[in-house]
Amino acid sequence: MSLSTGEESRMREEVLLADRDGVLEVTINRPEQRNAMTKAVAEAIAAAMDQLESSDHLRCAILTGAGGSFCAGMDLKGFLRGELPVDARGGFGGICTWTPRKPIIAAVDGPALAGGFELALACDLIVANQNARFGIPEVKRGLVAAGGGLVQLPRLLPRALAMELALTGDPIGAERALELGLINRMTDGPAIDAARELAQRIVANGPLAVGASKAIVRDSWLWEVDRLNQHQRAHVEPVFRSEDATEGARAFAEKRAPVWKGR
């Protein structure tokens, strides 16, 4: 599906897409169910990520939810029917096991619970309204946070705090999440507004450099210590050889804004 600037369209009706100034806004549109995740929505989000990856015009994505909620996790009614809200490649919500090279910002209003929290953690940055809540309450329903929460939280928090969130299932508010470094911004207005401002700061930068930087930050914890430079070089060298690198240096010398080509 191709999107023109400013155009908004439905993908499988429950996911809305909008292209705004090079930023792909993806909105889960199930407000009556607090945007609980279904298989159809997961596959639609994964397809939107393919759109982001393949379009030279799109530089960044914002993932949010309609109606004052981000995502309340797995749709339990669907689960009782035997449905799992996963995409074959992207996992839960379409992005928990794969994301595009370009950055994704989660704009969180209201609850981001269970798989909703895992969905936000799968994004690269999180902006939240002050009334947002985060947690993995699966144990309260006899389930396990299998969408990445139990893996990601011990890497982001001290072990004791990650264990408390996992074993009690109790949520934390946006202010506490900010204190712990789990989110980037807290706002008293709609999270989407702050996310758009952050997205434009990213879009202003060289797209190749942004993609390489995301890849290094996200993947470097997997690299062997004695091969760190080798792994990083594979991402860095193509950027330094690119037209954008030359343009960035020239624009700085000429005291003007760079014109990125993504090559």
Catalytic residue among 53, 138, 164, 197: 138
Quick one: which H or E segment has residue 125?
Answer: strand 125-129
Could you tell me which residues are beta bridge partners of residue 135?
Answer: 113
Catalytic residue among 25, 43, 118, 179: 118
- Mark whether 118 is an active-site residue: yes
- Mark whether 138 is an active-site residue: yes
Dihedral of the alpha carbons of 58, 59, 60, 66, in degrees to the nearest 10: -20
Q: CA 119 to CA 97: how far, in whole Å?
A: 10
Q: CA 173 to CA 163: how far, in whole Å?
A: 17
Amino acid identity for residue 5 in this structure: T
3-state secondary structure 37-71: ECHHHHHHHHHHHHHHHHCCCCCEEEEEECCCCCE
Annotated active-site positions, please? Answer: 118, 138
